[in-house]
A = this chain, B = another copy of it.
Amino acid sequence: MIEDLVDRLRLLRTPGIGPVTFRQLIMRFGTPAAALEAVPDLARRGGGKAPAIRSHGDAEREIARVDKLGARFLALGQGLYPRLLAELEDAPPLLIAKGNLNLFDRQAVAIVGARNASAAACRFARGLAHDLGQHELVVVSGLARGIDSAAHDGALGTGTLGVIAGGIDIFYPPENQARQETMYEQGLVLAEMPPGTEPRARHFPYRNRIIAGMCGGTVVVEAAPRSGSLITARLAAEAGREVMAVPGSPLDPRAQGCNQLIRDGATLIQNAADVVEAMRPFESRLRSEAVPYETKYEELNGQDAIGLVEGLLGPVPVPVDEVIRLSGHSPGAVQMALLELDLAGRLDRHAGGKVSLRE
């Protein structure tokens, strides 16, 4: 088991291997150990050089560090890993968790919104989180300023889970240190990045997909157009989860994002009862068995497939399904060719299952 974790970490922390590539490798080769062995050859067949696979020692050091921090790893496809999150195509292969893991047993709902929200909206978020806690729901958010903090505070007594963009031991923003430390004790904190990672701009959308993906629904409270909260809402919708939004006056610019979400089909939320009603369809899915690695790909079609797939790709992202259709080859062969191009550093993977050739 510990060896499996070491191999997982080595594979996952290898540059160029993201969650989708990781999943493709496991689906093809069965175990992290077998995937690690195959990677150099795959990359060479894709026309690149072998990626610098993370060392055994590096992985063991990270495991020891997580252990020392009082945290633990959760592996996709195993035991405690959040069921709904496992359904995402780009579910994190490993999460680092610190706090009360029993919170995973209960239905979760996300409350997200603007960092610079109005005092009234923060008060609303806190009250909503509190009331949802009374309904046994776990409140998930991102431990950011504004709405996130208010949501965590409101649900601290009943169960709240914070997903952070940096390492499990990093406090961002710094003024949230006390809140995050309290949640280690009374709630739960999740991180995808290795300990010590300072969050950068690109980490926040990754964090948002975890928030949206582990919850049956996401409530947006006060969000500006083109804000991170709307990205979370879009990710929730793409994952087939309930998108909910709290309306506001059209005269208030901070309400525009939520009002637009409602126009686009999000459920208008006025109180906790509205959320509970909207979340009802997800109660049963919490109990269902997720099967994250269900498909084994067919055998390869040989080197020809790579040339063909490469010829179908360009700098503009196209859906993998379309590449498969145009290629005339089996999905397994095309996926393998993509995997090889990917490991060779010649492929970019985009949202919505799209890929492009790296220029």
- Kindly identify which residue among B120, B251, B262, B274 contacts A251, using a CB–CB cutoff of 8 Å: B120
Interface size band for A: 20 to 34
- Kindly identify which residue among B249, B255, B262, B270 contacts A256, using a CB–CB cutoff of 8 Å: B270
Chain B residues, Cβ within 8 Å of A124: 249-251
**Per-residue contact bits, chain A 254-268, to B (CB 8 Å; 1 contact, 0 not):** 011001101100011
**Closest partner residue, chain B, to A128 (CB atom):** B250
Q: A16: CB under 8 A from chain B?
A: no
Chain B residues, Cβ within 8 Å of A255: 247, 249
Find out whether the CB atom of B274 lies under 8 angstroms from the CB atom of A263.
yes
Q: A248: CB under 8 A from chain B?
A: yes
A230 to chain B, nearest CB (A): 15
Q: Give A121-152 interface residues, CB cut-off 8 Å to B.
A: 121, 123-124
Find out whether the CB atom of B249 lies under 8 angstroms from the CB atom of A262.
no
Q: A212: CB under 8 A from chain B?
A: no
Find out whether the CB atom of B247 lies under 8 angstroms from the CB atom of A249.
yes
**Closest partner residue, chain B, to A271 (CB atom):** B250
Find out whether the CB atom of B250 lies under 8 angstroms from the CB atom of A249.
no
Q: A341: CB under 8 A from chain B?
A: no
Q: A11: CB under 8 A from chain B?
A: no
A154 to chain B, nearest CB (A): 15
Lowest 3 CB-CB distances: which A-B pairs, in order? A247-B247, A250-B270, A263-B268
Instruction: Please list the residues of chain A having a beta carbon within 8 angstroms of any beta carbon in chain B.
Output: 120-121, 123-124, 246-252, 255-256, 259-260, 262-263, 267-271, 274
Given A249-B252, A250-B271, 9 other A-B contacts at CB below 8 A?
A120-B249, A124-B250, A247-B248, A247-B249, A249-B255, A250-B269, A259-B270, A262-B262, A263-B270
